[in-house]
A and B are shown apart, each in its own frame.
Chain A
Amino acid sequence: MAAPRASLNLVAPVWNGVTKSIRDLSSSVAPKGSQKKGKRLLQFLADRFYDVEALREYLLQKQVSKVHQENRFQGQEWIQSSGRRPSSLELLSFQAVPVESVDASDCAINYEGLDNLLALKELQSLSLQRCPHVDDWCLSRLYQLADSLQELSLAGCPRVSERGLACLHHLQNLRRLDISDLPAVSNPGLTQILMEEMLPNCEVLGADWAQGLKSRPEKQSQDTASPTPA
Chain B
Amino acid sequence: MFRGAVHLCAGRGRLGRRLSTLRGGSALGWAGKVSEIKKTLQSVLPGGAWNSLYDTSHLPPEQSDVVIVGGGVLGLSVAYWLKRLEKQRGAIRVLVVERDHTYSQASTGLSVGGIRQQFSLPENIQLSLFSVNFLRNINDYLAVVDDPPLDLQFNPSGYLLLASEEGAAILESNVKVQRQEGAKVCLMSPEQLRNKFPWINTEGVALGSYGLEGEGWFDPWCLLQGLRRKVQAMGVHFCHGEVTRFVSSSNRMETTSGEEITLKRIHEVHVKMDHSVEYQPVECAIVINAAGAWSGRVAELAGIGKGPPGTLQGTKLPVEPRKRYVYVWHCPQGPGLESPLVADTSGVYFRRDGLGNNYLGGCSPTEEEEPDPENLEVDHDFFQNKVWPRLAWRIPAFESLKHPVPPQVRSAWAGYYDYNTFDQNGVVGPHPLVANMYFATGFSGHGLQQAPAVGRAVAEMVLEGRFQTINLNAFLFSRFFLGEKVQEHNIF
- CB of A80 closer than 8 Å to a CB of B: no
- Chain A residues near B157 (CB-CB < 8 A): 163, 166-167
Check B338 against A166 for contact (C-beta < 8 Å).
yes
A167 CA / B214 CA spacing, docked (Å): 11
Check A169 against B146 for contact (C-beta < 8 Å).
no
Interface residues of A in 62-120 (CB under 8 A from B): 64, 111
Residue of A with least CB distance to B356: A190
Per the CB 8 Å criterion, the residue count for chain B at the interface is 28
- CB of B212 closer than 8 Å to a CB of A: yes
Interface residues of B in 127-176 (CB under 8 A from A): 136, 139-140, 143, 145-146, 148-149, 153-158
* Contacts A197-B336, A198-B338; A139 near B145 (Cβ below 8 A): no
| Consensus secondary structure, chain A interface | helix
Q: Which of A1-9, A12-20, A45-53, A148-156 contacts B (4 or more CB under 8 A)?
A: A45-53
B27-71, CB under 8 A of A: which get 1 and which 0?
000000000000000000001000000000000000000000000
Check A163 against B154 for contact (C-beta < 8 Å).
yes
- CB of A205 closer than 8 Å to a CB of B: no
- Chain B residues near A191 (CB-CB < 8 A): 355
Residue of B with least CB distance to A68: B140
* Contacts A28-B148, A163-B153; A140 near B355 (Cβ below 8 A): no
Check B154 against A137 for contact (C-beta < 8 Å).
yes
- CB of B10 closer than 8 Å to a CB of A: no
Check A194 against B154 for contact (C-beta < 8 Å).
no
Check A198 against B89 for contact (C-beta < 8 Å).
no
A48 CA / B148 CA spacing, docked (Å): 21
- CB of B309 closer than 8 Å to a CB of A: no
- CB of A201 closer than 8 Å to a CB of B: no
Residue of A with least CB distance to B212: A143
The one of B336, B355, B356 that contacts A198, using a Cβ cutoff of 8 Å = B336
The one of A60, A143, A169 that contacts B337, using a Cβ cutoff of 8 Å = A169
Check B145 against A163 for contact (C-beta < 8 Å).
no
Closest Cβ of chain A to B329, distance in Å, is 18
B binding-site residues for A, Cβ under 8 Å: 47, 89-90, 136, 139-140, 143, 145-146, 148-149, 153-158, 212-214, 216, 233, 235, 336-338, 355-356
Give me 12 A-to-B residue pairs in the complex whose CB atoms sit less than 8 angstroms apart, sorted by A's number. Answer: A26-B149, A48-B47, A57-B143, A61-B143, A64-B143, A111-B136, A137-B154, A141-B213, A163-B156, A167-B156, A169-B337, A198-B336
A binding-site residues for B, Cβ under 8 Å: 26, 28, 43, 46, 48, 50, 53-54, 56-57, 60-61, 64, 111, 136-137, 139-141, 143, 161-167, 169-170, 186-187, 190-191, 194-195, 197-198
